[in-house]
Structure 1
Amino acid sequence: MTASPVALRSTLLASSDFAAHDRVAALREFFGREVMRADFWSHDNAGGKFDFRTRITSLGLDTVHVYAHHTPTHLWRSPALMQDGCDDVLLYACSSGLVLRTQSHEMAVPAGSIAVVSKAREYQGITPKGGPSVCLQVPRRHIARLVPGLEEAPLRVLLPGAPGAALALAYAELLSANPALPAPQQVLATTHLHELMASALAPALRPGTAPQHESHAPSRLALIRYDMQTRLGQSSLTLEAIARRHRLTPRQVQRLFAAEGTCFSDELRTARLDRAHALLTDPAKRHLRMIDIALDCGFAEASTFNRAFRRRFGAAPSELR
């Protein structure tokens, strides 16, 4: 029996959902206390303006991905809140940079860098210029089993290009945006996400050499396929580009497809042609010119599109209208 897709639990929340006088208090209670386990308020740099939108997604295995777009904010994991015993490890980044403050340190986390911080310590996270920002929260036990000797409360700043961290955030975003993985694959995908995060905390572990299992292949391939679907119109969508995005070699990507009896180029061509077919048969898209459809589906030339379409569907694109 084929496993049913699992629906990830996502919550969308915005300051505009609340009356102006309740916004900060409401978001402090739900986003601050419930999600981040921290106090939360608008930073002075916001100049009295408070705009906050977030998507919170549970990825399973007590792992949570948070994306937010916001005016300047201030988080504080206070000693009082630490009494909850939560020891989640966070990957935390802001596109405009952030400041991470502890009892003994104040660290700048510039744009492109990623902070590693634990809820087992008191800390303040300040975004003086606002978001977007992203956070991946994983219980320490999941990372500790992969990183022997992991400190009780990690605190680090990973510079741009740090192996594993950026890829972990990218994978978390893909998982958050794709709620249709079968339940067993969802567990494997989240486990692989933990491995990527571990590779950021233990430099000896690199993506591709972290603890692996053959059963991770379907989840990796599912994410690659989803990534391809979102980029079909890009002429730069190549095997090499996909491999770079997923921190694999082109040969490793080819092996993932080969295990299912196909190859990257065939899958890409089929996906582009299927998209073109859907556009051509959609009455709401009749206003689109053939060349527009070809370009939207990643074909640089109408002649190439026409030949490929006829081979797949036995008819020219114009015959479907």
Structure 2
Amino acid sequence: MFDGTDLPATDRFDAWGELCARQLTATRLDRVGCAGAAREFNATLRAAQLGPVRLAELSYGSLRSRRTPRLIRAADPGTYQLALIRTGGQRFIGGSQEVCLGPGSLLFYDSAQPFTAHVPEDIHYSSLMVQFPRELLPLPQRRSIPPAGLPIPGDDPVAGLLRRFLEAIAAPEFAHAPDPLTGTDSVRLGGIVTDLTLALLARRLGREERALAAPRRDTLLLRVRGYIESHLDDYALTPAAIASAHHISVRYLHRLFESEETSVAAWIRARRLERCRRDLRAPELSHRPVGVIAARWGFPRPSDFSRAFRRAYGLSPREYRRLSGARS
């Protein structure tokens, strides 16, 4: 959660730009309006991971955001993005095309396409943004998305259904329910968002839905990976548990990973080792014993962890921590 009011007014705009580059998509931000209004800029961001799908709730003041070819070459997150405008409005320009967006409308666009988004002076803008890995929505032709994105009117019935679903997930009472979401819940909700978006794109692009639907194997594999990522600290994360959560057989789960040239268990072990490696080089965790970090990510036996880490990275965990600059 980011709230600009926690920062001095003069620091908010720059902090917002840095946050967007890290959490969303890197753009070049410019102030809009007089210098005094710029100093009063404020913004908030709240984000949630729904398996491989990321949902962000954004609110900010007047600005111009430019996604330039240079920024795309430097860092492309490889995502399609769907913006649902809640309040305010903006102009979205791509190439020689321009669309004007108001409350209730949606825009689908590609992070690899240059654009300029302009929120006018004295407007406070808020939206919900969904980010999809491109592999999750394999369009027949990426050029089917216009340079200025694909605007979708809010009165489209499928758009209305998607809008209500996204707003329900983003509602504070949903996020703070007495019975919180599990990792399995999040993955399934992400799957619903993906399926609704596929149905909406099929309508707007004038193609049969089956031509737009991702190959079920690839879509399912991405969902399984998202589930694994959100459960790496769970000692009960086994192929049987993963298969059950996705309503498939263990045999079919293993078939999903055949093209990855690894087994399900090896994939889990590799992702857990990577989490351990990340924690071992984190200065703020330098006080935490190696064995505690290993146990945190599913390695209860220190000797097993040390052997697996050395096989993967060529160093013992303590050697790696020392060389990375953290205290052993």
With structure 2 as the length reference, what TM-score do the two structures score?
Answer: 0.53
Shift of 1:196: 0.6
Cα distance, 1:150 vs structure 2 = 4.9
Moved more, 32-41 or 134-143: 32-41
Q: Does 1:17 align with 2:6?
A: yes
Counterpart selection for 1:174 from 165, 168, 180: 168
Matching residue of 2:57 = 67
1:26 paired with 2:15, answer: yes
- Distance change >3 Å, CA 54–CA 37, structure 1 → 2: same
AA aligned to 1:36 is T
Query: How far does the alpha carbon of each residue in 1:218-252 deviate from its partner, in whole angstroms, 9 at most, with x for none?
Result: xxxxxxxxxxxxxxxxxxxxxxxxxxxxxxxxxxx
Q: Distance in 2 between matches of 1:80 and 1:15?
A: 28
Work out whether residues 32 and 39 of structure 1, in 8 Å CA contact, stay in contact via their aligned partners in 2.
no
Match of 2:159 among 141, 144, 165: 165
Give how far 1:89 is off.
1.2
Q: Is this contact kept in 1: 2:12–2:42, CA < 8 A?
A: no
1:202 alignment partner in structure 2:
202
For 2:50 and 2:30, locate their aligned partners in 1 and report how far apart those are by CA, in whole Å.
26
The question of 1:121 aligning with 2:121 is answered no
In structure 2, C-alpha distance between the alignment counterparts of 1:70 and 1:85, rounded to whole Å: 23
Alignment gaps of 5+ in structure 1: 1-11, 214-321
* CA positional deviation for 1:205: 6.4
Q: Does 1:82 align with 2:76?
A: no
The superposition leaves residues 60-116 of structure 1 with CA deviations (integer Å, 9 ceiling, x where unpaired) of 21x221212222222211212212232311111332221101122121123322111
C-alpha distance in 2 between matches for 1:149 and 1:197: 16
Distance 1:189 1:133, change over 3 A: closer
Q: Select between 131-140 and 181-190 the one with higher mean Cα deviation.
A: 181-190
1:133 to 127, 133, 145: 127
Larger helix proportion of the pair: 2
The CA RMSD measured in Å over matched residues stands at 3.1
1:51 is aligned to 42
- Secondary structure in structure 1 of the residue aligned to 2:198: helix
Query: 3-state DSSP class of the match of 2:64?
Result: strand
Matches within 5 A, 1:1-321: 12-44=1-33, 47-48=37-38, 49-61=40-52, 63-83=53-73, 84-94=75-85, 95-128=87-120, 129-144=123-138, 147-151=139-143, 153=145, 155-177=149-171, 178=174, 180-203=180-203
* 1:65–1:137 contact (8 Å) kept in structure 2: yes
Larger mean CA deviation between 40-49 and 97-106 belongs to: 40-49
Q: Deviations over 1:191-214 (max 9, x none)?
A: 1110111111111668xxx89x9x
Letter in 2 for 1:74: R
Q: Number of matched residues?
A: 198
Q: Partner of 1:132: helix, strand, or coil? A: strand
How many angstroms apart in 1 are the aligned matches of 2:3 and 2:181? 27
Distance in structure 2 (CA, Å) of the matches to 1:38 and 1:153: 20
Does the CA contact (< 8 Å) of 2:51 and 2:188 recur in 1? no
SS of equivalent residue, structure 2 residue 125 = coil
Q: Matched residues in 1 for 2:25 and 2:157: separation?
A: 25
Residue identity over aligned pairs, in percent, reads: 20
Q: Secondary structure at the match of 1:66?
A: strand
1:33 Cα deviation after fit? 4.5
Contact 2:49 2:186 (8 Å CA) reproduced: no
- Partner of 1:137: helix, strand, or coil? strand
Partner letter of residue 124 of structure 1? T
Residue 104 of structure 2 aligns to a residue in which SS? coil
The CA deviation string for residues 150-186 of structure 1, in whole angstroms up to 9 with x for no partner, is 5475521111222433433432343345452333332
Tell me, yes or no, if the aligned pair for 1:87 and 1:139 is still in contact at 8 Å: yes
Deviation at 1:149, TM superposition (A): 4.0
Q: Distance in 1 between matches of 2:82 and 2:7?
A: 29
TM-score by length of 1: 0.54
- Do the aligned residues in 2 keep the contact of 1:163 with 1:199 (CA within 8 Å)? no
Given that 2:32 and 2:64 are in contact with CA atoms closer than 8 Å, whether structure 1 keeps it comes out as yes
